[in-house]
Chain A
Amino acid sequence: MPAGPYSEDMLWAANKDDFTLRPMEDVLLVFHKMSGDTHILNFLSAAVIHVLSQEAETFASAESKILAHVDLTPEDCPPGLIKKTILELDDVGLVGPQAMLL
């Protein structure tokens, strides 16, 4: 479920206990236990899950770690795409503001 209004300094996190991960070739299959939905993540959204499940991050702090995880640089990534991806994952309940996950 989307977090609703958010701020740039909001911390985002993913709780790996909430889902089951299965890599399949170039994509990551994520079964969300609570909703019963299965999500297909590409390398970027998979990296978001990986990074945010390690530690809660803001949009800005997450970006550098995510890009490092996929061996890309900020120049490779269109502006706002990582933030958009985090919000997409928030929409389907895979990530959320840290307070909501506690």
Chain B
Amino acid sequence: MKNNKKTDAFLEKRRQLLKLGAAGLPMVLTLRASASEAVISQLRCLITVPSNLKILVDDTGAAWVGDGSISEEGGGGYDLDDIASFKADADYTFPEGSAPSEYRPEACEIDDCEDGDGSGDILLSHLTDEQGNYSLTENLTDYIAGGGGDDHCHSLPDHDHGGGKKGKGKGKGGHGHGDDHGHGQGDCGYALYVYDNSVITPGNYVDESGNWTISGDDGLFLALSLAYAEEYGPGGSWPGVSCIVSILNYVG
């Protein structure tokens, strides 16, 4: 702070400042860092999710993140080709179990069921062979039995969902198809979440003990952010990973 080239003007400014000090101007300003404020500052960071970011989740909890387009099929589910393209071009891919169960796709709805007297007929038509014989798995037996005396329009069991293009595409197109799904067929074995410049405050979802309570679409983004941060730390390219890491460092 010593200045060897102090001019008269410079010294006069100092004199003026001293007069202000005599009038009550503090000579010391303090930026407090109390424990509670430290919590706030570390948890206050925001994440702006990039525009048009999409997260595609399958029933295993695997997730693909990108900005490709995915069109919805009329009977529910998403276009098979779009799904395949999205997965191939995804910016980030997360393994099975990454997406919490509440964000995984729900069972497919069988829209045609309302035309019959029970959903069992629809399923039976798929399961009957050329001789008219059919066999039922335990799950399907339960399903049909439940549908007979009920209003119909039940869902297939979760574990029966198909995967990608070569999987068992579900939805209005039925199930058990082969490899040659063409455009226009839907796969409802996926859930799609679309973000558009969402601003997320991760600190709103974690307590001081490090317990995360996620909810809403933002919760899925946070869950994947946590998985990414644990894998790659703050150096990755995931949007807002530094914010997540700073919170993780604080809450331990």
One of B29-37, B142-150, B187-195, B239-247 at the interface:
B29-37
In the assembled complex, the CB of A42 is this many whole angstroms from the nearest CB of chain B, namely 6
Given the known inter-chain contacts A35-B33, A72-B11, please indicate yes or no for A45 contacting B28, CB distance below 8 A: yes
Considering only CB atoms, which chain A residue lies closest to B23 in the complex? Answer: A78
The answer to whether A88 and B27 touch (CB under 8 A), given A71-B11, A81-B21, is yes
A37 within 8 Å of B (CB atoms): yes
Q: Are B15 and A92 in contact (CB under 8 A)?
A: no
Report B-chain residues with C-beta under 8 Å of the C-beta of A36.
Answer: 33, 38
Q: A41, A76, A81: which contacts B28 (Cβ < 8 A)? A: A41
Contact status of A38 and B28, CB under 8 A, knowing A72-B14, A77-B18: no
Bound-complex Cα distance A81 to B24 (A):
9
Q: Contact between A40 and B31 (Cβ–Cβ < 8 Å)? A: yes
Query: Would you give the shortest CB distance from A21 to chain B, in whole angstroms?
Result: 10
Q: Give min CB distance, A77 to chain B, whole Å.
A: 5
CB atoms of A85 and B28 under 8 A apart: yes
Report Cα–Cα, A41/B17, bound state, in Å. 13
Asked whether B6 lies within 8 Å of A43 as measured between CB atoms, the reply is no
Contact mask A48-86 → B, CB, 8 Å, 1/0? 101000000000000000000111100011111100110
Contact indicator A88/B15 (Cβ below 8 Å): no
Q: Which B residues are in CB contact (< 8 Å) with A41?
A: 27-28
The answer to whether A23 touches B1 (Cβ under 8 A) is yes
Closest B residue, CB atoms, query A26: B1
Contact check, B30 vs A92: say whether CB atoms are below 8 A apart.
Answer: yes
Give every chain A residue within 8 A of B18 (Cβ-Cβ): 44, 72, 76-78, 81
A89 to B159, CA, bound (A): 68
- Please indicate which of the listed interface residues B1, B17, B29, B31 has the most CB atoms of chain A within 10 Å of its own CB: B1
On whether the beta carbons of A38 and B33 are closer than 8 Å, the reply is: yes
Q: Judging by beta carbons under 8 Å apart, are A38 and B21 in contact?
A: no
Which listed residue (B14, B30, B32, B38) contacts A70, Cβ 8 A? B14
CB distance from A92 to the nearest CB of B (A): 5
Q: Which listed residue (A44, A71, A94) contacts B21, Cβ 8 A?
A: A44
Return B235 CB to nearest CB of chain A, in Å: 26
User: At the interface, yes or no: B44 with Cβ under 8 Å from chain A?
Assistant: no
Contact between A43 and B28, CB atoms less than 8 A apart = no
Partner of A43 from B17, B29, B30 at Cβ < 8 Å: B17
- How far, in Å, is B26 (CB) from chain A's closest CB? 7
| Chain B positions within 8 Å of A70 at CB level | 1, 14
Q: Given B19, B27, B33, which contacts A45 in the complex, CB threshold below 8 Å?
A: B27
Bound Cα distance from A95 to B19, whole angstroms: 23
A57 to B102, CA, bound (A): 67
Q: Which residues of A contact B26 (CB under 8 A)?
A: 88
Contact A28 B1 (CB under 8 A): yes
Would you list which residues of chain B between 30 and 67 have a CB under 8 Å from chain A? 30-33, 38
Give B residues with C-beta under 8 Å from A. Answer: 1-3, 6, 11, 14-15, 17-19, 21-22, 26-33, 38
Q: Which 6 residue pairs are nearest across A and B when measured between Cβ atoms?
A: A78-B22, A36-B33, A45-B27, A40-B29, A38-B31, A85-B27
20 new A-B contacts, CB < 8 A, other than A37-B31, A44-B14, are A35-B33, A37-B30, A39-B28, A40-B28, A40-B31, A43-B1, A47-B1, A48-B27, A69-B2, A71-B6, A72-B15, A76-B14, A76-B15, A76-B18, A77-B18, A78-B19, A78-B22, A79-B22, A81-B18, A81-B27
